[in-house]
Amino acid sequence: MIILGLSGAVSHDPSAALFVDGELVAAAEEERFIRDKHARDKMAYEATRYCLDVAGIGPGDVDAVAFPYAKIGLGSPARWHYARRYWYAPDRALTALVNGNRRYRRNVRRVRQLLDDLQIGFDRVRFFPVEHHLAHVSSAYHLSGFEDKCAVVSIDGKGEYATTFFGYAEKGKIYKVKEFYDPDSLGGFYGALTEYLGFEMLDGEFKVMGMAPYGDPERYDFSRLISYNERDFHVNTRLVNVIGPRRYKEGGRGYYFSPELVRWLGPKRQGDDIDDPYIDYAAATQKLLEDVALKLINHYLGDVIRETGRICYAGGVALNVKLNQKIIELDGVKELFVQPAASDAGTAVGAASYAAVALGEKVRPLRHVYLGPAYSDEECIEACRQHKRRPLWEVLDDPAETAARLLAEGNPVAWFQGRMEFGPRALGNRSILGDPSHPGIAERINAQIKYRERWRPFCPSILDRAAADILQTDHPAPFMTFAFRVSEAWKDRVPEVVHEDGTARAQVVSRDTNPRYYRLIEELEKLRGIPVVLNTSLNRRGEPMVCSPTDALNMFFGSDLEYLIMENIFVRKHE
Q: Known catalytic residues?
A: 12
User: Pick from 171, 136, 155: which is nearest to 205 by CA?
Assistant: 155
Give the count of alpha carbons within 13 A of 400, CB side only: 16
Q: How does DSSP classify residue 86? A: T
Q: Are 488 and 523 in contact (CB under 8 A)?
A: no
User: Pick from 348, 328, 346: which is nearest to 337 by CA?
Assistant: 328
Q: Are 310 and 337 in contact (CB under 8 A)?
A: yes
How does 359-374 read in b/e, with b if 16+ C-beta sit within 10 Å? Answer: eebebbebebbbbbbe
Radius of gyration of the chain (CA): 23
Neighbouring C-beta atoms of residue 559, cutoff 10 Å: 18
> Kind and range of the H or E element at 107?
helix 102-117
SS3 249: strand
**Which amino acid is located at 49 in the chain?**
R
- Number of helices and strands in the chain (H, E): 19, 24
Strands (E), 36-118: 64-67
List Cα–Cα distances, 55 to 4, 19, 371, 513, in angstroms: 12, 10, 11, 19
**Which amino acid is located at 299 in the chain?**
H
Task: Say how far apart CA 496 and CA 55 lie, in whole Å.
Answer: 40
Give the count of alpha carbons within 13 A of 181, CB side only: 15
Q: Are 546 and 33 in contact (CB under 8 A)?
A: no
The sign of the dihedral angle between the CA atoms of 300, 302, 307, 308 is positive
Q: How does DSSP classify residue 495? A: G
Could you write out the three-class secondary structure of 358-373?
HCCCCCCCCCCCECCC
Give the count of alpha carbons within 13 A of 515, CB side only: 1
User: Pick from 329, 342, 312, 82: which is nearest to 205 by CA?
Assistant: 342
List Cα–Cα distances, 48 to 45, 281, 347, 385, in angstroms: 5, 41, 14, 29
Task: Say how far apart CA 328 and CA 321 lie, in whole Å.
Answer: 10
> Terminal CA-to-CA distance of the chain, rounded, Å?
53
**Which amino acid is located at 116 in the chain?**
D
SS3 307: helix
The burial of 452, by beta-carbon neighbours within 10 Å (0-12 exposed, 13-18 middle, 19 or more buried), is given as middle
Q: Are 168 and 301 in contact (CB under 8 A)?
A: yes
Q: Are 566 and 416 in contact (CB under 8 A)?
A: yes
